[in-house]
Amino acid sequence: MKKLLLTSVACLIMSGAAMADTKVQSCNRTVTFDAPPERAISNDVNLTEMMLVLGLANRMVGYTGISGWKTLDEEMRAGVKELPELSAKYPSKEVIVGADADFFFAGWNYGMKVGGDVTPETLEPFGVQVYELTESCTHIMEKDKASIEDMYADLLNLGKIFDVEERANTLVKSYKADLAAFSKGLETGKPIRAFVYDSGEDKPFTAGLYAMPTALIEAAGGTNVMNGFEKSWGTVTWEEVIEQNPEVIIIVNYGKVTAEQKRQFMLSNPAFAEMDAVKNDRFVTLEYVEATPGPRNIKAIKTLANAFWAQ
């Protein structure tokens, strides 16, 4: 009887331990956390900001992938002032393991590359668990087109992983309420045809069906003229853009070439002269951190809507 009782207690303890585990879906993987991470690293400015809005700076040992391409604005500089940038661009496996990290928040083409040195599989032997940015899952699996729900899912999953679910739920509810209130008062007409100009002069690098700007454009009452480009971010031809004749051009601002330089390039090129957006000088700028999945997506939708429908 005593042995049976001890066995029952042991089973209850084991059952309790199992119940304490947290499971989240990360692309095509189910990732189990037996405790909240304590030494996390995030890659890229938008993913790092997700960590910051959830109050997780004290659970981080650093961040990567920002200064090599982008700059931090005042708000983000304050948020990461106590944290080191461990790598200016994509981190190596050695950088992550060398920081004694236990968690890496990144995405495919947001710090990781398919078949690259840094993947969930290559980091697992070193005790580093990975959560993948939902928008980026299209690089390794089939998924629906980009949605603002992708960003919400990431915040909610991070809330579960770090045991700050109440904070994450409150934040997402506030974003949804803010967007609903704004959308209710938005007067729109026929969807505005918009093109996202990220970079490139010979060929433009743009956002396709699976990139977050598609969701932002649609929420603002427009349509991405590159919806037929069934990729996330990638290169198309100028001929394709001209054929689609966008009414508004959305410039993503980051890197050495400024938004104004990109605008002037398009205004001064005779090949674009008959494009509606160029003829009417209808350009709107989004910062990189607004155009990629993250807390500033709601602000980005408002910026686009105001540019689309301002009289």
Instruction: Report the pLDDT value the prediction gives residue 78, as an integer from 0 to 100.
Output: 81
CB-based burial label for 12 (10 Å; 0-12, 13-18, 19+): exposed
Mean pLDDT for the chain overall:
92
Closest to 231 in 3D by CA, of 146, 166, 294, 123: 146
Superfamily name and number for 187-309: Nitrogenase molybdenum iron protein domain (3.40.50.1980)
Instruction: Report the pLDDT value the prediction gives residue 75, as an integer from 0 to 100.
Output: 79
What pLDDT, in 10s, does the model give residues 46-90?
A: 999 999 999 999 999 999 999 988 878 887 788 888 899 999 999
Cα–Cα distance, 169 to 175 (Å, whole number): 10
53: amino acid identity, one letter: V
Q: Where are the domains of the chain?
A: 17-177, 187-309
Which strand (E) or helix (H) includes residue 64? strand 60-64
The residue ranges of the chain whose pLDDT is under 70 are 1-20, 311
How do 233-235 and 205-207 pair as beta strands? antiparallel
CA angle 60/62/66 to nearest 5° reads: 130
Superfamily name and number for 17-177: Nitrogenase molybdenum iron protein domain (3.40.50.1980)
Instruction: Report the pLDDT value the prediction gives residue 311, as an integer from 0 to 100.
Output: 54
Topology match between the domains 17-177 and 187-309: yes
Count other C-beta atoms under 10 Å from residue 308's C-beta.
Answer: 23
